[in-house]
Amino acid sequence: MFEIGRVCMKIAGRDAGKKCLVIDVVDEHFVMIDGQTRRRKCNIKHLEPINQAVQINKNAPAPEVARVLNEIGILVEEKKQKVKSEKKAKTARPKRARKKKELPVKEKVKEKTKIIKSETKTKKLDKNKPEEKVEEKA
């Protein structure tokens, strides 16, 4: 019953009530349809055949299906063909450079004098310690 060129009405789903044409028979349960509905695979249980048939090639393109259905009196709106838009080349974003903080220049403090003092103290202690120990032992 569902041969290529059979006009059907879809009775289930969001395309219910719309008329379509069988383009291809996939197997005993499924057919390919196109027309007022979307071009898609469809279960036979979701279709009701109409007493009309058309001669059409297997897997005919959508504009041809629309032309054939319009001749019978079933109005089909032209589907918008997907236009492959050329991908815009991504312009390289300018990288944000981190701002370097300008550190305030520290004035170097002369610490030489301090170091010298501390060194002298340690030296004195070191000298005293071993001397004392030696004396105690003796």
Partner 1 sequence: MPRMSRRSRSLRRIKKKLPGGSTKLVYAKRQPGTTKCSICHIELKGIPRMRPFEARNMAKTKKRPERAYGGFLCANCLREKLKQEARQS
Give the range of 27-35, 44-52, 105-113, 124-132 binding partner 1 by CB under 8 A.
44-52
Give 4's contacts (C-beta < 8 A, 6+ positions apart): 22, 23, 24, 25, 56, 58
Would you say 66 or 74 has its CB closer to partner 1? 74
Would you say 43 or 128 has its CB closer to partner 1? 43
Rounded (to 5) percent helix, strand, coil in the chain: 30, 20, 50
Quote the least distance from Cβ 102 to partner 1, whole Å. 54
Q: Does 62 bind partner 1 (CB under 8 A)?
A: no
Quote the least distance from Cβ 14 to partner 1, whole Å. 5
Q: Does 48 bind partner 1 (CB under 8 A)?
A: yes
Q: Does 51 bind partner 1 (CB under 8 A)?
A: yes
Q: Does 75 bind partner 1 (CB under 8 A)?
A: no
CA distance 33 to 18: 11
CA distance 4 to 49: 12
8 A C-beta contact, residue 35 and residue 75: no
Site map for partner 1, 1-20, x if CB under 8 A? -------xx-xxxx-xx---
Would you say 3 or 126 has its CB closer to partner 1? 3
CA distance 31 to 21: 10
Gap between the terminal Cα atoms of the chain: 128
What residues make contact with partner 1 under the rule CB under 8 A?
A: 8-9, 11-14, 16-17, 48-51
